[in-house]
Structure 1
Amino acid sequence: MNSFWIILFHTYLNKLKSKSFIVTTILTVVIVLGLTNINNIINLFDKNGGKETVAVLDETGKLFEPFQQQIAVINKDIKLENFKGSGKEAEQAVKNGDFAGLIELQYNQEQLPEAVFKAMSIADSSLFTDLQAGLQQLKTMIAASKLNLTEEQLQKLYEPAAFEKIALEKNAKTEEELNQARGLVYVLLFIIYFSVIMYANMIAMEVATEKSSRVMEILISSVSPIKQMFAKILGIGLLSLTQLAVFLLVGYYSLTKNMDSLEDGFWGVYGFGDVPLATIVYAVVFFILGYFLYATLAAFLGSLVSRIEDVQQMITPMTLLVVAGFMIAMFGLGKPDASFITITSYIPFFTPMIMFLRVGMLTIPVWEAVLGIAILIGTIIVLAIFGARVYRGGVLMYGKSNSFKDIKKALQLTKKE
């Protein structure tokens, strides 16, 4: 048993101290900090501090002030300036960079406002959308005044219709609970997806690297291949938990520092407030089981190749399974109760993501979640037994890997031992 722990910690510490791991961790931390400080970064490079000034050429002499009031309600970062010169002078000012754009206000034949927007580029759709919304509200207000509607009547006219959603299913989640669950499920789906892609590949590369350097020949003389396989899976698992802990702590700290002004703070904004303990437990269980499922698969696929350049080709089908599960789960965020989602949640390679999606978004019977966990555990055991046999023979195979026919060769080598 000592040899098992030696290989486990050797794998963990070796990868932890490697330049590739350190560089990847630092780069990812920088990306996390960048994403959580994106508004500050944008404002840093924006000479106007995120605010935009738009020149207004009011040909009517009456529309500027009410239009300015409407824009102030929609977006406080848009500043309107009543331009007193000619249209050509205003256009030149835009070209000189004095204004983000120019909007010309006028009346149409029905004496209702209309406008023409001019800018160096019309790629900034958000600015145009806000200006258009402000003009639409101004037009509505003027049209209502022509119909002699009072302010109260106008408010009644545009007041949203009451439309309440009620779930008839017993113990069904409320809209608030669904929003909370959706935030947690969304984040966990990404964590599971990227963890499997990164760390399962790392296991396959680790095995292939040792084979290519002939280290495996020395190892199998003192430690059984089965111990090696599971020691590497657990070693990379500890490594993944270490790296994920760094990412999550940095991301959480950075977000909390940038959200002090928000009333509900980090957990409220992302819908994580009052998440049931059971949902968090399921998240941890499905993450761990999902990791071991794909890690075991990656280990014995990696044992079939003896050259590092063949690893990606061999594990491509596994990667496609992860991508397929992730895409189905993304679809399921909008329709978690679809029959397609229910069926695929019992397919082992999709279960970690899709069953957790159903557990988080729906009120399903406990037996369904337990059945999903049982299917995963059973698949991992079967895959581990079969994978260990393939691994045992695969580590003795050298030469170019042709296809999955090598699995049969690996099994034959195992029987000869």
Structure 2
Amino acid sequence: MHSFWIIFKQAFMMKARTKSFIITTIIVAAAFFLLANLPNIIESFGDDEEGQVLHVIDESGELVPQLQAQLEQSQSDIQAMPTEMSEEELQQGITEGTIESYLVIEEGDTLSARYVSESANEMGAGSDVENAVQAIQTAQTAERLGLSGTEVGELFMPAEFEREAVSDSSKTEEELSQARGLVYVLILLIYVAVIYYPNMIAMEVANEKSSRVMEILISSVSPVKHMFAKIAGIGTLGIVQMMIFGIAGYFAFKTSGSDMAEGFFSVMGFSEIKVSTFLFAVLFFLLGYFLYAVLAALLGSLVSRTEDVQQLMLPMMFLIIISSFIAFSGIGMPEANYVTVSSFIPFFAPLVMFLRVGMLDIPLWEPLLSIAIMLLTIGVLGWFGARVYRGGVLMYGSSQSLKDIGKAIRLGNKK
């Protein structure tokens, strides 16, 4: 057991001290703080003056005050002002940078307006102006039809519309909206974890073989103990890194001092997270990691060069990608038959069953059955992977096919 912990510590510390791991952790943690403070950063680069001036060509001379009133009502910082300049002069001003935008507005049976700015990508100001013009059009139409303000309000009053589901497993629309964001984030987290860390294991095993370090290691410790110590060490490292990301993200949004933080936690469902959902997320994260980690160690033991790792890892990557497609498509329809069936397939269950747990009120036996199937699969794959690993670490030369699994088993039996 002492040798197990030595390899465990070596796998953990070696990867934790690498520049790539440290830089990746710092960059991702910094990205959370950047995202949380993005509104403040954008505002700091904004114009500190009174606001954007909108030059308005209004031949009637009566629409600019109405336009300004509508802009103020919508709390826009745009200042509408009439201009005597021609369109040619205004366009030249935009080209030279002295004018940001202008509006040509004409009154007839209906209002017609043309908003001109330097770039068509200027969505914010253009939308504010469009909404203000539409409000003026609505007011003029109501006045022409003899409608009062109360009658106009009643005309645009939304209908009361509620959604009810017959299925016992369905949640309310409000609960689904809260769960959807949370499930999306956690599925993405699990998806990244089962790609990144098992791939790290395969690369580590292949690197030890290519440098002939493996020959020294297996002379003092069994290949099976080496495999599981490697899996446990890098898995612990992954948990630590994910905890760092989670803590950094939490404090980044909590200390940002902007309305974005409260909105983010509310929309994503983190403000009302259930303990059971969090526990299932951790459980499926661990089960998904160990399932794919054993498979990655198996594949990594077959190659002698790190360049060959990615080719043999393709089947595993396809499984993860298919699982993610099912999970992300199932966010919109978690009760679909293909989602239910795939949630009991062990290689899809870490993502898909967690999706169903987060989005639906399913019976407890369903996730427990899925967990049992995954544990059984991990046990069988661990037994089979140990046999392959025992012989695979002794194989050298070009290994670019899954057919080498049989050769590794035969070699392991002779050992």
TM-score (norm 1): 0.93
Asked if 1:358 is matched to 2:348, the reply is no
Partner residue, 1:248: 246
Q: Show the 5 A alignment for 1:154-165.
A: 154-165=152-163
CA distance in 1, matches of 2:79, 2:243: 43
Deviation digits for residues 226-281 of structure 1 (CA, Å, limit 9, x no counterpart): 11111111100111111111111111111112255479576334322333222221
The runs of 5 or more residues in structure 2 that have no matched partner are none
Partner residue, 1:33: 33
Asked if 1:306 is matched to 2:304, the reply is yes
Which of 164, 177, 180 is residue 178 of structure 2 equivalent to?
Answer: 180
Change in Cα spacing, 1:13 to 1:161, as seen in structure 2 (3 Å) is same
Contact 1:75 1:130 in 2 (8 A): no
Q: Which amino acid aligns with 1:242?
A: V
SS at match of 1:55: strand
Q: Show the 5 A alignment for 1:7-18.
A: 7-18=7-18
Partner residue, 1:68: 68
Partner residue, 2:410: 412
Partner residue, 1:90: 90
Contact 2:169 2:362 in 1 (8 A): no
Q: Which amino acid aligns with 1:318?
A: M
Change in Cα spacing, 1:401 to 1:263, as seen in structure 2 (3 Å) is closer
Change in Cα spacing, 1:49 to 1:244, as seen in structure 2 (3 Å) is farther
Contact 2:391 2:410 in 1 (8 A): yes
Contact 2:169 2:361 in 1 (8 A): yes
Asked if 1:229 is matched to 2:232, the reply is no
CA distance in 2, matches of 1:67, 1:343: 57
Change in Cα spacing, 1:296 to 1:259, as seen in structure 2 (3 Å) is farther
Question: How many equivalent residue pairs?
Answer: 415
Deviation digits for residues 324-355 of structure 1 (CA, Å, limit 9, x no counterpart): 21122111111111112111111211111111
Change in Cα spacing, 1:265 to 1:89, as seen in structure 2 (3 Å) is closer
Deviation digits for residues 178-220 of structure 1 (CA, Å, limit 9, x no counterpart): 2221122111011101111211111111101100100000111
Partner residue, 1:322: 320
Contact 1:71 1:131 in 2 (8 A): yes
Deviation at 1:296, TM superposition (A): 1.0
Contact 2:179 2:358 in 1 (8 A): yes
Partner residue, 2:201: 203
Contact 1:189 1:353 in 2 (8 A): yes
Partner residue, 2:145: 147
Partner residue, 1:57: 57
Change in Cα spacing, 1:349 to 1:378, as seen in structure 2 (3 Å) is same
The runs of 5 or more residues in structure 1 that have no matched partner are none
SS at match of 1:401: coil
Contact 2:254 2:261 in 1 (8 A): no
Deviation digits for residues 75-119 of structure 1 (CA, Å, limit 9, x no counterpart): 6244434334332222222222233322111113x1x21111212
CA distance in 2, matches of 1:308, 1:157: 68
CA distance in 1, matches of 2:294, 2:256: 40
Change in Cα spacing, 1:46 to 1:320, as seen in structure 2 (3 Å) is farther
SS at match of 1:115: strand
* Greater displacement, 50-59 / 324-333: 50-59
SS at match of 2:270: coil
Deviation at 1:299, TM superposition (A): 0.9
Q: Which amino acid aligns with 2:85?
A: G
Change in Cα spacing, 1:216 to 1:123, as seen in structure 2 (3 Å) is same
Q: Which amino acid aligns with 2:232?
A: L
CA distance in 2, matches of 1:7, 1:226: 12
Q: Which amino acid aligns with 2:317?
A: T
* Greater displacement, 131-140 / 202-211: 131-140
Contact 1:83 1:90 in 2 (8 A): no
* Greater displacement, 253-262 / 312-321: 253-262
Aligned-residue Cα RMSD (Å) equals 2.1
